[in-house]
C-alpha cells in the first residue's frame, strides 16, 4: 500500500508541475493574449458572383449593403439568414462632387429629409445593426449633416462605423455627443486592387491588431480581395481572433482557446464513490 500511495502522490505532483510549466510557457502566454480582427465588406448588392463569395466566408465577416443596389433586399435576406452582421452602406456626398446613388445624403439636407432617407434605407436593409458611409468625404466633415444623421441613428438604434474617407471627419465626435455607438475604420484592404498590395494591407491589419488590441478592416467584393481573405483567414495566426463588427461594437470578446487538454476527467474517481474503505491521504478504495 505504501508503494501505491507513493506512486499516486508522485503522479499528482508531476501533473501539477506540468500544468504550472505549461501555463508559464511563452506559447501559453501568447494564446492568452488575443488580438481581434473585424472585417466589413462594402458595396454589397451589385455583383452576384462576388457577393456570393463573400457570403461563403466566415459568419464573422460583416456586409455593408447599398440600399439602392439591385440586389440589396436579397443580400439583406441572405446575410440575415446566415446570422451575419449587416450594415447600411449609406451613400454620402464626396468632396469631388462625384454622383451618389439614389437615397444618399447631401450637404444642406434638413433633419426631416435625413430621417426620411435613413428610414427608407432601413426598410430595404431591414436587418441592419449599424451604418457606414459610402464615399462621404464632404458629408462626414459637415457638422450640421452629421448632427441630423446621428439623431436619426439614435432614434433607429443603429451604431455608426466611420469609414474615415477624410481625416477631418466629425462623425465620431458628433456620434458620441448624440449617444450613438461609434467605431472607425483602421485599415482599407484594397485602395489598390493589386494582389500584392491587398496582401500587404492584410498583414498590416494583423500588425495593427497586435499593437492596439483590435483592427477594423474594410474591403470590397473584388477578385483579389476575395483571394487574399480566403488565404489569410485559412492561415490566421493563433493570437489573432476574427470577431464580428457587432461584437466589437458591444465590446464583446471571443473566449481564448483552451490552453491545454483536460488532464483529469470530470467524473468522480472510483475511490470517492461508496462503498469505500478509508485510507490515509486517499479518499478511499473500493471494497
Whole-angstrom Cα distance, residue 142 to residue 165?
13
144 part of a folded domain: yes
Counted domains in the chain: 1
22 part of a folded domain: no
Give, for all 287 residues of the chain, the pLDDT tens digit.
Answer: 555 545 545 554 555 655 555 555 444 444 458 999 999 999 999 999 999 999 999 999 999 999 999 999 999 999 999 999 999 999 999 998 788 999 999 999 999 999 999 999 999 999 999 999 999 999 999 999 999 999 999 999 999 999 999 889 999 999 999 999 999 999 999 999 999 999 999 999 999 999 999 999 999 999 999 999 999 999 999 999 999 999 999 887 654 444 444 444 444 555 555 665 555 554 444 54
| pLDDT value for 277 | 56
210 part of a folded domain: yes
Residue found under cell 480581395: 225
In CATH, what number is assigned to the domain containing residue 213? 3.20.20.370
Provide the pairing of β-strand 35-44 with 240-242.
parallel
30 part of a folded domain: no
Q: Which three cell numbers stand for residue 238?
A: 493563433
Question: Does the predicted model carry a pTM greater than 0.85?
Answer: no
Give the number of C-alpha atoms closer than 13 A to the C-alpha of residue 270, restricted to the C-beta side: 3
Whole-angstrom Cα distance, residue 113 to residue 52?
34
Whole-angstrom Cα distance, residue 93 to residue 37?
29
Give the closest residue to 63 by CA, choosing from 124, 120, 119, 127: 127
Whole-angstrom Cα distance, residue 287 to residue 278?
10
Give the closest residue to 205 by CA, choosing from 87, 37, 69, 45: 37
**Is 231 within 8 Å of 261 (Cβ atoms)?**
no
| H/E stretch holding 5 | helix 2-24
Give the closest residue to 57 by CA, choosing from 85, 89, 17: 85
Give the closest residue to 40 by CA, choosing from 77, 71, 84: 84
Query: Angle at which helices 48-55 and 223-234 pack, to 10 degrees?
Result: 10
156 part of a folded domain: yes
280 part of a folded domain: no
Range of the domain at 161: 35-249
Q: Which residues contact 180 (CB under 8 A, 6 or more apart)?
A: 150, 153, 154, 158, 159, 160
Amino acid at each position: 500500500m505504501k508503494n501505491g500511495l507513493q506512486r499516486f502522490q508522485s503522479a499528482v505532483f508531476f501533473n501539477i508541475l506540468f500544468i504550472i510549466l505549461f501555463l508559464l510557457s511563452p506559447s501559453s502566454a501568447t494564446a492568452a493574449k488575443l488580438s481581434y480582427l473585424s472585417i466589413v465588406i462594402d458595396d454589397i448588392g451589385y455583383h452576384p458572383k462576388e457577393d456570393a463569395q463573400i457570403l461563403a466566408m466566415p459568419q464573422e465577416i460583416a456586409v455593408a449593403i447599398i440600399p439602392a443596389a439591385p440586389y440589396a433586399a436579397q443580400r439583406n435576406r441572405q446575410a440575415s439568414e446566415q446570422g451575419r452582421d449587416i450594415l447600411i452602406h449609406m451613400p454620402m456626398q464626396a468632396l469631388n462632387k462625384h454622383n451618389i446613388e439614389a437615397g444618399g445624403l447631401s450637404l444642406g439636407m434638413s433633419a426631416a429629409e435625413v430621417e426620411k432617407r435613413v428610414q427608407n434605407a432601413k426598410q430595404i436593409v431591414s436587418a441592419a445593426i449599424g451604418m457606414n458611409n459610402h464615399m462621404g468625404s464632404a458629408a462626414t466633415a459637415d457638422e450640421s449633416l452629421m448632427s441630423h444623421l446621428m439623431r436619426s441613428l439614435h432614434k433607429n438604434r443603429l451604431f455608426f462605423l466611420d469609414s474615415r474617407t477624410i481625416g477631418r471627419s466629425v462623425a465620431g465626435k458628433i456620434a458620441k455627443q448624440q449617444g450613438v455607438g461609434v467605431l472607425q475604420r483602421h485599415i482599407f484592404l484594397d485602395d489598390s486592387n493589386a494582389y500584392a498590395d491587398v496582401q500587404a494591407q492584410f498583414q498590416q491589419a494583423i500588425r495593427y491588431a497586435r499593437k492596439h488590441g483590435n483592427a477594423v478592416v474594410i474591403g470590397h467584393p473584388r477578385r483579389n480581395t476575395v483571394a487574399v481573405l480566403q488565404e489569410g483567414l485559412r492561415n490566421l495566426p493563433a493570437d489573432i481572433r476574427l470577431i464580428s463588427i457587432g461584437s466589437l461594437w458591444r465590446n464583446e470578446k471571443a473566449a481564448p482557446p483552451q490552453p491545454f487538454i483536460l488532464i483529469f476527467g470530470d467524473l468522480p474517481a472510483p475511490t470517492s464513490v461508496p462503498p469505500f474503505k478509508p485510507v490515509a491521504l486517499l479518499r478511499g478504495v473500493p471494497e
